[in-house]
Amino acid sequence: MNRRWVLITAVPAVALGLLAACGDDDDGGAVTPDSGMNSPEGSTTDGPGGGDSALDQKAPETGTDASITATTLAKFDPVQGELPEGLAVQHIGADTNVLVGFAPQGRIVKVLGDGGVSEFASFTNPKDTFTLGMTLDPANNVYVAIANTGAAPSPAPGVYKIPAAGGTPVLYTTVAAGITFGFLNGLEFIGTDLYITDSQGSIYVVNNLGITTTWITADALAGDVNDCKLGNGFPIGINGIAHDANNVYVVNTDKGSLLKIARNADAGTAGVITVLKKDPSLCGADGLVMDKDGTLLVANNAKNKIQRVTTAGVITDVFSGKPLDSPASLWIDTQGTARRLLVTNAAFASSAADGGMPAPSLVSMPLP
């Protein structure tokens, strides 16, 4: 989640101006460049799914790749604070449930086929928090990250578990001594362990009992407002997270970088951090997912783009422009041989050039 916003109440503020390009200085410290990465195994983001809704009857927008179109599945109300961030897709029997979390509301909804929503779960009177990353376990229970955004956060920052059928969120994380959660953001299961990115520069791991320990803390994972100069108002480091059999991958929003962190063979402890790519075009990177070919798809919140980064660090635009509006989270959904990429448009800071209200929504685009 890239918090380029001046909105925390129900009424959106004036849209921010265009963002400055970030710098391309190399990261220092115990970080190495890389020419490639291992082939993926065990990615948790694919699953059987359904087709697109016919909600938006207009011709789909066309992005950089003329063969890729985007269809709006649902539109949300920015005046009511319906700014979508987290995203997860359940497959229960023959049903496909697309779940979306509204960041400032502390509310998770199920998106219906006609573009409407039904209530799934919510936090009571959320204050000084944002509801961000979401993921699932094999039983379709939902996990959601709660980030601290103010002096008196409620609910307490952490990861909360919601039953597969919805209902009351229950705190899942039991924090070990010495850990203070900051801005919890992305979630990713590796086996029964849940990995959490903290945009202040750490990754935590939670075992199947909810016991939480620090996996790694490093300068390369922290933000720097003077690097990309995104205008966030405070540092936002690592954000989206993905993995393969041997590595964890994260994007750093403030630094415009894609990082690989080795998982050691001992007990999965953190190894060397490698910069796969650092480039101004990645400034504002938010959501991250690994595709079946081992490339990584990035939701670029600041640039209104979906980007693909290869193992050699080559960046291409999969889709750019409308209807994207601060794309935040990604989920690859598969039914048979058909695949689609679902995207939440958080619409935290629509371009002032648009001259209108933000356009929070859920968008779908086919994948080859």
Q: What's residue 312's pLDDT?
A: 82
Domain 31-350+358-367: state its class.
Answer: mainly beta
Q: How confident is the model at residue 82 (pLDDT cuts 50, 70, 90)?
A: very high
pLDDT tens readout for residues 157-166: 999 999 999 9
Average pLDDT of the segment spanning 38-58: 31
For residue 49, pLDDT over 70 is answered with: no
- For residues 173-190, give the mean pLDDT: 94
Query: What number is the average pLDDT over the span 236-258?
Result: 97
Closest-CA residue to 45 (of 364, 330, 253): 330
pLDDT of res. 155? 97
Predicted local distance difference test score (pLDDT) of residue 177: 82
Residue % of the chain over a pLDDT of 70: 80
Residue 236: what are its φ and ψ, rounded to 5°?
-125, 110
β-pairing verdict for 285-290 and 296-300: antiparallel
Q: What pLDDT does residue 20 have?
A: 29
Mean pLDDT within 320-326? 94
Q: What is the mean pLDDT of residues 338-362?
A: 79
- What mean pLDDT is predicted for residues 209-229? 97
Give pLDDT, residue 237: 98
Q: pLDDT tens-digit profile of 1-29?
A: 664 443 333 323 222 222 223 333 333 33
Q: Is the pLDDT of residue 345 over 70?
A: yes
- Give the model's confidence band at 252: pLDDT under 50 very low, under 70 low, under 90 confident, else very high: very high
Sign of the torsion angle spanned by Cα atoms 66, 358, 235, 148 = negative
pLDDT at 328 over 90: yes
pLDDT band at 358 (very low <50, low <70, confident <90, very high): confident
Domain edges within the chain: 31-350+358-367
> Does the pLDDT of residue 37 top 50, yes or no?
no
Across residues 219-237, what is the average pLDDT? 95
pLDDT for residue 115 is more than 90: yes
pLDDT of residue 1: 65
